[in-house]
Structure 1
Amino acid sequence: MTDHVHDLRSVRKATDRLLTAVAKVDNATLAEESHLPGWTRGHILAHLARNADALVNVFEGRPMYESAAARDADIERDAPRPLEIQLADVRETSERFLAQGEVDQDWSRTVELRNGVTDLASNVPFRRLVEVELHHVDLNIGYTLGDLPEEFARREIAFLADRWAGRPEVPPVTLRTHHDDSVWKTGSTEGDPVTLSGPLSELLGWLAGRELKGAHLSVEGGPLPALPPL
């Protein structure tokens, strides 16, 4: 089973890094476009706060969101708020999520997320960590994929490689790091195999559709495959 205690500690550290970084910007910067098309930095902070609330719902056996429309409406409602309110909301909702992790519960139980997706309760803290770390990158305030902790980058590469495994629109892909020859495999079993080599940050960028989306990777066997949106 995943070490949820370790992951909860990592969530706290990642959230503190994000809040410290965001506290250095101003309201005008918050209203500017992020790396995510159609979203300002305020949209990302609103999403992070509402996602924390949603994951508390998951732990407590309620639907993650009332509906997709309600989720989107809440983000749009909260995106224009001033920096001080945004920071307080992310901090307070994160604390509620972390407090839920202290509650005595069956971490081996299956919980339901969005769109009928299920997972073990013990994996929810890592899912929250993914939200915090990748959206810190998406804020476009100086934190890049190369700044992500190596342990997190490796785990997220493995998670996303598994997510794209078996997808018929993705050719068989082998991902390999330059510095230590770590290997992950993803994609379908049909078609011409492709090998992508490069640093962890570039491999993660391709899998997650972030930054240069793997444009600097070494590619053998064909062109750089395109992935569907996450």
Structure 2
Amino acid sequence: MIDHAHDLDAVREATDRLLSATAELDAAALTAPSRLPGWSRGHVLAHLSRNADALVNVLQGRPMYADGETRDRDIERDAPRPPAEQRADLSGSAARFDSAAAAPADWSRTVTLRNGVTDSASRLPFRRLVEVELHHVDLGIGYELEDLPEEFVAREIEFLAERFDGHPDVVATRLADDRGPVRTTGGGAEGGPVTVRGTAPELLGWLSGRRDGAALKVEGGPLPALPPL
């Protein structure tokens, strides 16, 4: 069962870690490449700020983004800002999200996200947590998948396994890590079943497109190719 209040606490903690980690980044560090292709660290921080505001829109019944072009343009606009502006926006947008999430609401209602995706409002805090935690890793400033909270890693593996379940391009796959239960995913493509074993951070890295899976052990066939998120 999703506990949105618990997840909001986790978002606050993750945001505090991110703000502390980025406090000393200078302009050169922010213009340096992140681990995301084509994005500087400034792009990542700009995206996180605009994502917080976009989730406020969702919580308050507005479209998440005006359109895809506006989303991309806003990130490009905000990416080259000076460090002080980046940090102020990151902190301010996080506070706006926290305030909107603290307002009395029906957390069981269905909300609409980007590209017409729908979900329970109760899942929004965890979705924000995913953004903050994984993009903190994407900055490449010393926070790695192995540093992520164990609970978060287990839940994100579960979330991604659910996302790929039945996908037409993914063979039937069993996921076995060193922390949690065996999970199944894929199954829409011919072939398999394949079992993929590894540590929870390595499995998460592969499922989220942040590692190539070279550290994983595969039984029953080659490592399945996963579609982009």
TM-score grouping bracket, smaller chain normalisation: over 0.9
2: CA distance, partners of 1:215 / 1:128: 29
2: CA distance, partners of 1:152 / 1:169: 26
- Unaligned ranges ≥5, structure 1: none
Provide TM-score, normalisation by structure 1: 0.97
Contact 2:179 2:200 in 1 (8 A): no
Which amino acid is the alignment partner of residue 191 of structure 1? G
**What is the deviation of 1:213?**
2.6
Contact 1:202 1:213 in 2 (8 A): no
Which amino acid is the alignment partner of residue 134 of structure 1? L
Find out whether 1:121 has 2:127 as its counterpart: no
SS of the counterpart of 1:111?
A: strand
**What is the deviation of 1:23?**
1.0
Which amino acid is the alignment partner of residue 212 of structure 2? K
**What is the deviation of 1:181?**
6.0
Give the corresponding residue for 2:7: 7
1: CA distance, partners of 2:140 / 2:63: 31
Contact 2:154 2:180 in 1 (8 A): no
Contact 1:207 1:213 in 2 (8 A): no
Give the corresponding residue for 1:63: 63
Closer/same/farther in 2, CA of residues 225 and 90 from structure 1, 3 Å limit: same
Which amino acid is the alignment partner of residue 120 of structure 2? L
Give the corresponding residue for 2:221: 222
Closer/same/farther in 2, CA of residues 192 and 59 from structure 1, 3 Å limit: same
Which amino acid is the alignment partner of residue 215 of structure 2? H
SS of the counterpart of 1:16?
A: helix
**What is the deviation of 1:192?**
1.9
- For residues 130-151 of structure 1, give each alpha carbon's deviation from its aligned partner in whole angstroms, at most 9, with x where no partner exists: 0000000100111111111000
- For residues 114-135 of structure 1, give each alpha carbon's deviation from its aligned partner in whole angstroms, at most 9, with x where no partner exists: 0000011110000000000000
Which amino acid is the alignment partner of residue 158 of structure 1? E
Structural mapping, 1:18-29, within 5 Å: 18-29=18-29
Closer/same/farther in 2, CA of residues 42 and 191 from structure 1, 3 Å limit: same
Provide TM-score, normalisation by structure 2: 0.97
- For residues 49-99 of structure 1, give each alpha carbon's deviation from its aligned partner in whole angstroms, at most 9, with x where no partner exists: 000000000011100000000000000000000111101101000001011
Contact 2:48 2:131 in 1 (8 A): yes
Give the corresponding residue for 1:204: 204
2: CA distance, partners of 1:180 / 1:136: 22
2: CA distance, partners of 1:70 / 1:180: 41
Give the corresponding residue for 1:195: 195
Structural mapping, 1:33-182, within 5 Å: 33-177=33-177, 179-180=178-179, 182=181
Which amino acid is the alignment partner of residue 160 of structure 2? L
**What is the deviation of 1:24?**
2.3
1: CA distance, partners of 2:64 / 2:180: 39
